[in-house]
């Protein structure tokens, strides 16, 4: 009888332990639940890979066939399996890897349901209805809960939050303006406070040099004359061509023209080329966010 009671007690303890180990996080497409700390993690997207790498979590498969920032170049090696392309996950390969968690970024978000049939799947996508920093913190906290590293995540958030607020406070106090430009395929486009680069204005406190810039994913097509006439105090330039052309670009030379040189930004050495990896490719990553802070600190 004592043996039976002991066995029953052990079963109850084991059951309670299993329940205690179950963790769920919510995201825009549902809820992701794991019953243990994930060990076999598949990642689709560069932003979530950035965050996992920062916290020392090594996935068994990552997106291939894309550009990796230098600090993630080690994942573009043969010893790391491929989870497919950014827009096209390799479902068969992922299934055969037997993952216990799949993390999918924005470019493959449409595959969430199909991936969820293979293993618990976490959507790692920033919420366009929230600010960059607010939404990014949510993604990091989800990772913190699933991998039982919430303390590390909160410490990181607290440290970066203080840096962001310091920059914002200074810019708002001095009413510092900025014009953000992205160059792509021979065209240059302007982005304002409601664009994909809204963090420059919302998080870091810059004022739009030009109000009511057309809000489009690809920006508002402009000219060098437009930039000269705007007379920005700060000119932030994103060189997308360097990504598309695998490191080759002539944008820096092209911006050394008389029209740009007539702006206060150029004359006061406030024309700053932002890190395209951080602002465009690895958006929402920890190292990317740190680089964004560095760019805004110039």
| Secondary structure (3-state) at 183 | strand
Give the model confidence (pLDDT) of 165-202 as tens digits: 999 999 999 999 999 999 988 899 999 998 999 999 99
And the tokens for 252?
A: 């820096």
Interatomic CA distance for residues 200 and 204, integer angstroms: 5
Give the model confidence (pLDDT) of 48-106 as tens digits: 999 999 999 999 999 998 889 999 999 998 889 999 998 999 999 999 999 999 999 99
Q: pLDDT at position 243, please?
A: 83
Interatomic CA distance for residues 122 and 111, integer angstroms: 11
Interatomic CA distance for residues 28 and 121, integer angstroms: 12
Interatomic CA distance for residues 67 and 88, integer angstroms: 15
Q: At what angle do helices 286-296 and 46-54 cross, to 10 degrees?
A: 90
Interatomic CA distance for residues 102 and 93, integer angstroms: 12
Task: Enter the pTM of the model.
Answer: 0.90
Q: Tell how far CA 283 is from the center of its chain.
A: 2
In DSSP notation, 122-168 reads EE----TTS-HHHHHHHHHHHHHHHTT-HHHHHHHHHHHHHHHHHHH
Interatomic CA distance for residues 104 and 100, integer angstroms: 13
Total residues found in the chain within this entry: 298
Interatomic CA distance for residues 232 and 264, integer angstroms: 6
Residue 51 and residue 285 in contact, taking contact as beta carbons nearer than 8 Å: yes
Q: pLDDT at position 218, please?
A: 79
Q: pLDDT at position 35, please?
A: 93
Higher pLDDT, 154 or 216: 154
Q: pLDDT at position 21, please?
A: 74
Structural domains in the chain plus CATH codes: 25-153 (3.40.50.1980), 175-296 (3.40.50.1980)
């Amino acid at each position: 009888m004592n043996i039976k009671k002991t066995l029953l007690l052990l079963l109850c303890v084991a059951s309670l332990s299993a329940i205690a180990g179950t963790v769920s996080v919510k995201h825009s497409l549902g809820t992701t639940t794991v019953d243990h700390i994930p060990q076999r993690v598949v990642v689709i997207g560069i932003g979530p890979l950035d965050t996992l790498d920062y916290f020392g979590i090594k996935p068994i498969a990552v997106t291939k066939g894309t550009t990796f920032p230098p600090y993630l170049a080690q994942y573009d090696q043969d010893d790391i399996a491929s989870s497919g392309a950014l827009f096209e996950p390799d479902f068969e390969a992922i299934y055969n890897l037997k993952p216990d968690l799949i993390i999918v970024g924005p470019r493959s978000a449409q595959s969430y349901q199909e991936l969820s049939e293979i293993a618990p799947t976490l959507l790692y996508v920033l919420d366009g209805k929230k600010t960059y920093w607010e939404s990014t913190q949510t993604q990091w906290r989800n990772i913190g809960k699933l991998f039982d590293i919430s303390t590390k995540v909160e410490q990181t958030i607290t440290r970066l939050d203080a840096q962001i607020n310091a920059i914002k406070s200074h810019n708002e106090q001095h009413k510092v303006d900025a014009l953000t430009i992205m160059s792509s395929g021979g065209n240059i486009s302007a982005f304002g406070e409601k664009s994909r680069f809204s963090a420059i204005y919302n998080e870091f406190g810059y004022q739009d040099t030009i109000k009511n810039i057309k809000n489009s994913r690809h920006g508002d097509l402009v000219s060098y004359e437009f930039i000269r006439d705007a007379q920005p105090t700060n000119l932030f330039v994103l060189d997308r061509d360097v990504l598309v052309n695998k490191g080759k670009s002539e944008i820096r030379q092209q911006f050394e023209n008389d029209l740009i040189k007539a702006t206060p930004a150029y004359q006061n050495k406030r024309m700053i080329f932002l890190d395209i990896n951080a602002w465009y490719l690895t958006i929402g990553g920890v190292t990317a966010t740190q680089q964004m802070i560095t760019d805004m600190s110039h």
